[in-house]
């Protein structure tokens, strides 16, 4: 057993843990966790502007090339279910370092792939970087008490919010200058940097588990039987589901309803990310004092209010790109307040299963979000306007309010 693990098992969560930068005998610095979450987000979207060029390079069809997104998300969701119990058993540090090693090999495979089949195989393997996002949250919960953990998760995900805003822009520039391979070379270099930083800074934070790996997986029912876990999980899933629906439907609305050019679309499209950044800042600044339940409640209400105003604007004939995307900013603010706090809540229901809870909750969020994204794409047809998308987002936001209200009622019944 190495020194970092010995240290971690004597470690007690607090509001101010002893952290020394680039010292793996102590818990990691917050910047390391931000970069771990960021590399996962960057891997998802940086290459999207290159899809047409990659289609031509591999002499295939665009719909086949788009599978590089779908299979990545599908494998990401599956891995999130598996990685939590594994990290609860073997620790956060070895699982993160092992996952990043596989990620680097998969990225090299994408760069050197001779045909689309090989590329898609390695692209699917790239999804192993999900360990970085899942376990960065679990590490925070290992280090801090619940309300303080929500604040720190807010800062971690605030850093993530920058990536969706700048990732595709960087990818598009690299595509124009050097071709699509440059995007994956960027991912490889970023992965090397994050691996080195994790190796130097990421001290083990998980408590030692005497259970076998099979026992860890058998503890899933302990989470699944908890109404509070499901309440937090559904609040996060429905809240983020509204954003996933936006990702699936907003390009259609922008081009077919408002007639925006690709350049204009790119500017407007960042609106929720700006709001998400602000919402995460609010979480980081106030969650420790306000408490996770109130933060989630207000976040879900803000998202629902934004969609209600958008519906009112559309039904009264005052819809425009500014109003449509402007109200989407409120969804971003709401999500920034909801997801970090709901995540801290679901990880706190059973603290000894924090990794398991993070993985399961993340899988449900991504799986549900992918389904809502597909639903938005299916309902948005010529002549339908923006209404199907706004209604989907309004209903899912409202369901998130109901979910967190259920948690609050349940905790009052339990006297928590």
CA angle centred on 154, ends 28 and 310, rounded to 5°: 155
Burial class (CB in 10 A: 0-12, 13-18, 19+), 383: exposed
Residues 6+ apart with CB under 8 A from 153: 137, 140, 141, 283, 340, 341, 343, 344
CB atoms within 10 A of CB 343: 31
Q: What is the pLDDT, as a whole number, of residue 2?
A: 41
Domains of the chain: 23-218 (1.20.1250.20), 220-414 (1.20.1250.20)
Instruction: In whole angstroms, give the CA distance from residue 273 to residue 277.
Output: 6
The tens digit of pLDDT for each residue in 140-199 reads 877 877 667 777 777 776 666 667 667 777 887 888 888 899 999 999 999 999 999 999
The tens digit of pLDDT for each residue in 354-406 reads 777 777 887 788 778 777 877 777 787 778 888 999 999 999 999 999 999 99
User: Does residue 12 surpass a pLDDT of 80?
Assistant: no
- Beta bridge partner(s), residue 144: 14
* Percent of the chain at pLDDT exceeding 70: 88
Instruction: In whole angstroms, give the CA distance from residue 29 to residue 126.
Output: 25
User: Does residue 4 surpass a pLDDT of 50?
Assistant: no
Confidence of residue 298 (pLDDT cuts 50, 70, 90): very high
Contact 335, 272 (CB under 8 A): yes
Mean pLDDT of the chain: 83
Lowest mean pLDDT among 199-208, 321-330, 367-376: 367-376
Q: What is the pLDDT, as a whole number, of residue 6?
A: 38
* Mean pLDDT, range 257-269, rounded to an integer: 74
3-state secondary structure of 14: strand
Say whether pTM exceeds 0.75.
Answer: no
Burial class (CB in 10 A: 0-12, 13-18, 19+), 224: exposed
Instruction: In whole angstroms, give the CA distance from residue 206 to residue 361.
Output: 18
């Amino acid at each position: 057993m190495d020194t970092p693990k010995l240290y971690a098992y004597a470690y007690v969560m607090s509001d101010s843990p002893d952290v020394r930068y680039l010292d793996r005998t102590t818990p990691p610095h917050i910047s390391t966790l931000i970069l771990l979450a960021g590399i996962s987000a960057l891997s998802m979207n940086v290459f999207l502007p290159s899809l047409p060029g990659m289609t031509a390079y591999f002499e295939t069809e665009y719909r086949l090339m788009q599978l590089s997104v779908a299979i990545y998300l599908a494998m990401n969701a599956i891995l999130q279910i598996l990685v939590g119990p594994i990290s609860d058993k073997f620790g956060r540090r070895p699982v993160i370092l092992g996952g990043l090693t596989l990620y680097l090999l998969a990225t090299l495979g994408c760069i050197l792939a001779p045909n689309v089949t090989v590329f898609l195989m390695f692209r699917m393997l790239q999804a192993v970087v999900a360990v970085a996002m899942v376990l960065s949250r679990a590490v925070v919960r290992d280090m801090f008490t619940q309300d303080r953990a929500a604040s720190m998760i807010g800062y971690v995900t605030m850093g993530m919010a920058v990536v969706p805003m700048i990732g595709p822009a960087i990818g598009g520039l690299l595509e124009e200058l050097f071709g699509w391979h440059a995007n994956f070379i960027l991912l490889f270099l970023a992965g090397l940097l994050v691996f080195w930083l994790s190796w130097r800074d990421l001290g083990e934070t998980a408590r030692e588990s005497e259970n076998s790996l099979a026992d860890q997986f058998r503890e899933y029912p302990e989470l699944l039987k908890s109404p509070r876990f499901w309440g937090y999980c559904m609040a996060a899933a429905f809240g983020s589901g509204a954003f996933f629906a936006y990702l699936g439907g907003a390009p259609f609305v922008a081009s077919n309803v408002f007639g925006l050019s690709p350049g204009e679309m790119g500017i407007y499209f960042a609106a929720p990310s700006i709001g998400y950044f602000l919402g995460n800042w609010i979480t980081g600044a106030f969650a420790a004092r306000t408490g996770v339940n109130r933060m989630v409640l207000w976040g879900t209400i803000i998202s629902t209010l934004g969609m209600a105003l958008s519906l009112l604007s559309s039904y009264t004939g005052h819809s425009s790109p500014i109003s449509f995307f402007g109200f989407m900013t409120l969804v971003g603010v709401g999500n920034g307040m909801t997801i970090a706090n709901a995540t801290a809540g679901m990880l706190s229901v059973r603290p000894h299963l924090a990794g398991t809870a993070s993985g399961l909750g993340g899988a449900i969020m991504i799986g549900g979000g992918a389904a809502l994204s597909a639903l938005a794409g299916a309902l948005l047809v010529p002549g339908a306007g923006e209404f199907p998308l706004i209604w989907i987002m309004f209903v899912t936001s409202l369901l998130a309010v109901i979910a967190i209200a259920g948690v609050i009622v349940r905790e009052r019944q339990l006297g928590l």
